[in-house]
Structures are given as C-alpha cells and as structure tokens.
Amino acid sequence: MNTQSPISNIQSLSFLFDIGKVLLDFDFEASLKTFLPPGHPDPASALSELLAKKDEFETGRISVSDYTDWALATLRSTASHDDFHHAWRHIFTPNEPMWETVRALHAAGHRLILFSNTNAIHCPWVFEAYPEFSLFHGAILSYEVDSIKPEPEIYQHAIEKYSLTPAETLYIDDLPANIATGNQFALRTHQYHLDNHQAFEHWLTKQLSQ
C-alpha cells in the first residue's frame, strides 16, 4: 500500500471483496487434470463440463457428495472423495499486493466483507488455510445464501444483512458481469486485474480522497 494514500484520514467505509482472482489467484485445470486417466477420449471437454457445472454447485443446490460423485464420473476417475477435495482446494496462491491493502484498510478501521461465489469444499477450509481472512468482519458466500453473482438477489442480501449504504460501499471484483450488477445497486465498483494492481491502487486512492 502506498504510504501516501489517505487510507486512514477519512470516515470508515465498507468494502466488498471478491476472493478468486482478487485476494487469491487460482488454477483449477492444472490440479484437476491429474485425475484424467491415460487415454481419456476428450480431456478438454471433461474439464470444461466440470467447471461449467461449478456455478450450480456454488449456489448450494448440489451437495458436496453429489457434485464429487458427478465430477469423478465425468473425469472417468477412480480417485477417492478425499483425493478430489484435496485437489479442488489446493489451487490457490495469495495475491500479496491485495493483502497488503487489506491489512492497511483493516488497521484504518474500515469494514471488510467477503462477497464471493464459492462452495462447501473450499469453505471453511480456505479460512483455516489462510488465517488472515480473520481480518474480515463478515462474509456473503454464494453456497450459503442460495444465490450467485451476478444475480441481483445476492447483492440485495449483502446490502440488507450488513446494512450497507451503496454510496459508502466499495466493491472489488474481477468479472465484468458482477461489476455490472454492482453498478445497478449504485455500489462504488472496481473491476480488478491481477496483472494491474497499480490501477486498483490509483482507483482506491481517488475513492478515499472523496
């Protein structure tokens, strides 16, 4: 975090942070490819089908057991549930520049809320694996609320649960569709790119100077 930022010189704000590609980078395919048996007729399609169904899983409408059974069958894998869950979880790399920002915002007294599409294999495991998630004051997780970004319902749920004032809420996400819905709710949004953290820092400094 730029030490010249006015991060601690303004009234407390609320922040909604996406997890994937914002706080943690991830690579599903590299991990899941290990389950494809030699001679699989169409590895690319199997992986694509697996990830396409992930959104439904992350609404909480498919149980962990059912999704795991289906995923292993789709991959034609004889691996155990435990082996699949281990691979599904070990896909993350912390985005350290963003964590520096999180630490500074927390120290300055801002309210930090996780706002993420995720699932019951990743959570609560990810919070145990990365203890700094304890810096966050709350979370809206798709699989717990039966809704998924960019559906408006999950945004409304976040606003109501945490009594958010959109004009005082900064929302960071990597996907344009999610940002578009955030804009519909008049949140102060930034579409984040892992390869351009500096653009986020410039946006944040401007937002905190208002």
Residue 21 resides in a domain: yes
Indicate if 121 and 163 belong to the same structural domain: yes
Range of the domain at 187: 14-26+92-208
Contacts of residue 142, Cβ cutoff 8 Å, sequence gap at least 6: 58, 59, 60, 116, 117, 118, 119, 148, 149, 154
**Residue 69 confidence (pLDDT):** 97
Mean pLDDT over 53-74 rounds to 95
Specify whether 45 is located in the same domain as 141.
Answer: no
Domain count, the chain: 2
For residues 161-171, average pLDDT = 98
Same domain, residue pair 33 and 71: yes
| Residue 10 token pair | 């303004």
In this structure, is residue 60 part of a structural domain?
yes
Determine what percent of the chain is predicted with pLDDT higher than 70.
Answer: 95
Mark whether 126 and 196 lie in a shared domain: yes
pLDDT tens readout for residues 117-163: 999 999 999 999 999 999 999 999 999 999 999 999 999 999 999 99
- Residue that finishes a domain, picked among 62, 89, 116: 89
Q: In this structure, are 41 and 62 located in the same domain?
A: yes
Domain boundary among 48, 66, 89: 89
For the entire predicted model, the pTM comes to 0.93
User: Measured between alpha carbons, how far is 27 from 35 in angstroms, rounded to an integer?
Assistant: 15
**Each residue's pLDDT tens digit, 184-210:** 999 999 999 999 999 999 999 999 998
On whether both 79 and 144 belong to a single domain, the answer is no
Is 3 part of a structural domain of the chain? no
Both 21 and 96 in one domain: the answer is: yes
Last residue of a domain, one of 89, 108, 126: 89
Q: Indicate the pLDDT class of residue 83, thresholds 50, 70 and 90.
A: very high
Statement: residue 4 has pLDDT above 80? no
- 84 with 121, same domain: the answer is no
